[in-house]
Amino acid sequence: MSVQKLPMNSPFPRGVMATPPTRSAGPATDDRPDIEIRSVRTRGEYDACVDLQRDTWGHSFSEVVPVSMMQITAKMGGVATGAFGPAGELLGLVYGMTGFRRGELAHWSHMLAVRPEARNQGIGKRLKLAQREELRAAGVVTMYWTFDPLVARNAHLNLNLLGAAVDEFVPDMYGVSDSELHQLGTDRFIVRWDLRGGAGEAGRAFAPGSAPGRCEPCAVVRPGGGEPKLKDDVKVVEVLIPKDIETVEARCFDEAVRWRHSTRHAFSRLLTGPYDVTQFITGEEHGRYVISRIPG
């Protein structure tokens, strides 16, 4: 399958992505007890972390975090945690740094990657939970990271299963990149995770296609659907995304760009006003962000 390049004058330049899309690798399975989740320790394991980055974002990707930076980050209160298979092979990685944001001690999770053959086995969630426990032991109570709002599987993991909340929408957050994963640009949600609770306690985990207590939307945003009329009495807007944006992109790149246009416009308008993302609903054809007017 060839990868179509964006034209030089495209409104969506490519950019660094903090978390790659979680593509399907077959039916989901239970967590594997033979996979060890622990801190990266040796030089060889750090080298494997660099290799995993290149395998995930492409061997031409020039913004790989080097071994020296990962080692220093870990020594200064950051996290470099791996998922290791039975033979000691690195199957997944979560990496981030700790510092101050908005006057509080917080952690920024820069990347989460799992090898394709190891996906759908709960490794991504286990890495995030291990990251949370390490940070809580150090007195950190808030974690931030980014994800592409067009990737429904990552939205479900981050918002429903982990219970993170959308903190901010940033169009084309990372700018130009040489990774082939970033053909649609790098619009990102910044999410905030309160580490004091359990996974999912702050989330809105719904079964596919259902949402207990869900209000009927006053407007629905989809490509070609026209701009919703957001009057003062509009309380709920649903922003649709495809079930699998990677499949859409491979089938018809222009269609994928239309999805980027519609979501960028909606999030830029709504989330700079009196609205919050209050639910993410999975479905057979689409994912749905439910965006509700903030009372008051």
- Residue range of the domain that includes 17: 1-201
- What is the CATH classification number for the domain harbouring 105? 3.40.630.30
> Among all chains, which residue has been given the structure tokens 């967590």?
31
Note whether 225 and 132 are same-domain residues.
Answer: no
pLDDT for the residue numbered 58: 80
Query: CA 167 to CA 192: how far, in whole Å?
Result: 6
**pLDDT tens for residues 238-261?**
999 999 999 999 999 999 999 999
Q: What is the pLDDT of residues 153-202, one digit of tens each?
A: 999 989 999 999 999 999 999 876 555 555 678 899 999 999 987 655 54
Distance CA 118, CA 28 (A): 10
pLDDT reported for residue 156: 94
| Higher pLDDT, residue 267 or 30 | 267
Counting other chains too, the contacts that 215-220 makes at CB distance below 8 Å and 24 or more residues apart are 215/292, 217/290
Q: Name the DSSP class of 29.
A: -
* Domain closes at, from 201, 234, 250: 201
Residues 193 and 224 in one domain: no
Provide the whole-model pTM.
0.80
Q: 69 and 183, same structural domain?
A: yes
Number of domains making up the chain: 2
* Residues 13 and 160 reside in one and the same domain: yes
185: left (phi over 0), alpha (psi -120 to 50) or beta: left
| SS3 of residue 188 by DSSP | strand
- Picking from 152, 180, 201, the residue at the C-terminal end of a domain is 201
Looking at 201, 229, 263, the residue that finishes a domain is 201
Does the pLDDT at position 143 exceed 80?
A: yes
Q: Across the chain, what does the average pLDDT equal?
A: 82
